[in-house]
Amino acid sequence: MFFPQARRWEPVQLNRTVPHRRSAVHPEKGSALTERRALDGVVVLDLSQVYNGPYCTLLLAQLGAEVIKIEPFGGEPVRWRVVGEQQTTAFDLLNGGKKSLRLNLKEPRGRDLFLRLVARADVVVENFAPGTLDRLALGYAVLAEANERIILASGRGYAATTPQAGQRAMDLTIQAVTGVMATTGQPDQPPTKAGPAVADFFGGTHLMGAVAAALYQRTVTGRGQHVEVAMQDAVVPSLASSIAGYLDSGGTLPERTGNRHGGLAVCPYNVYPAADGWVAVLCMTDGHWRTLCHLMERADLADDPAFASPPARVAQMDKLDEIVAAWTAGRTRDDVVDRLQGAGVPCAAVRGLADVMSGPLVGADRMIRPVRGADGRPSYAFGSPLRLADSAPPPAEGAAALGEHTEDVLAERLGLDAAAIRELRDENVV
């Protein structure tokens, strides 16, 4: 196998100059830290919609990329879903820090404007139904002709090598076809959709990783490429416990195991009642188990050979679940969590959304950030789970109004004057 010769690192040549930002003090090391972010200077044209693609571009924006969200005249579907004239919180959560350009790609002049933007961009992200870009005469070959360094990132439902390639897909259908629904719920109940949109967000996260890899590879090859991530493929590794349990048991393991371990290979591992709600408790190691026994004042269980190994405990899962539930039921969630976490046993209170929205996940530098919506109303935006020690954290920014940056983008990036932009508006191009 050939590996390219290692080369000295050189700065990426981007399509625009990034102004220097003042330095800050690294909060942990006390050293100078630039306020530039990892992807400063990268320009992303975002054609994506709903959750999958927009989460990819949100992560890119939070890493410093300039993301220009290109929307049809009515806006992307999630903007107005459910609440009509008011921009939805779902849209705000996933589109903070992006510019909004309204552009009619079905009109020849709109297509030409887009290709002019492509010539000055680094990445195009889309998650349209298969074949949509080709029908718009904007497939990868066309984009690469406009800019050989362009990276086209496509979020797909199904991989091109599967029988379902080309089929329409949404999070629900991917959960259905990959086994997520079959492995979610109680053993005696029907298959159940997972609460979160796991396929959309797993796919979007992997798509962001593919973009980052392609940007790096471009520094070696000097050219862009087409990258694809299928939600179907992105979800499958998360089924590791269920797939392993199925294979190791010769297919006899129940598909749905409720709140127990997906492969029924760990015990205790469940959600147990507390005096004021529920707690999740699991003992991954023999040490966890012995510690739990002492906290429950059941040294007899810790010393019992019948429970001395993971397989032995799994064999008596029902009995052990009853014992743990009897102990947790007489205590509050916080008491159980304090005792177990204080002793190093994994445990957490089951929190509802009301608890989450009033808890530590909400805040100016947290994962759910209070912001102002485009119309000035209070709203929220997601923070970034990606924390780079040598990059400034992303600011808390609300989502733009539909077409809010149309004039700025056309003037700054394409050099159009006010009269030309007004003409484009009059002809329903922008």
- Domain residue extents for the chain: 23-237+363-426, 259-350
Close Cβ partners of 280 (under 8 Å, ≥ 6 residues apart) = 259, 270, 271, 272, 347, 348, 349, 350
Residue 53, Cβ density class (10 Å: 0-12 exposed, 13-18 middle, ≥19 buried): buried
Per-residue pLDDT tens listing for the chain (430 residues): 322 333 333 334 444 333 333 333 344 443 445 689 999 999 999 999 999 999 999 999 999 999 999 999 999 999 887 655 677 899 999 999 999 999 999 999 999 999 999 999 999 999 999 999 999 999 999 999 999 999 999 999 999 888 998 899 999 999 999 999 999 999 999 999 999 999 999 999 999 999 999 999 999 999 999 999 999 999 999 999 999 999 999 999 899 999 999 999 999 999 999 999 999 999 999 999 999 999 999 999 998 999 999 999 999 999 999 999 999 999 999 999 999 999 999 999 999 999 999 999 999 889 999 998 877 889 999 999 999 999 988 999 999 999 999 999 999 999 999 999 999 999 999 9
Q: Using alpha carbons only, give the angle 339, 341, 343 rounded to the nearest 5 degrees.
A: 70
Evaluate whether 23-237+363-426 and 259-350 have a shared fold: no
- DSSP state letter for 392: P
User: Is the CATH number of domain 259-350 3.20.20.70?
Assistant: no
Residue with tokens 């989460």: 55
DSSP run (H or E) holding 362 = none
CATH number of the domain at 23-237+363-426, please? 3.40.50.10540
Alpha carbon separation from 64 to 84, 326, 389 (Å, rounded):
32, 51, 14
Q: Active-site residue numbers?
A: 200
This prediction has a pTM of 0.89
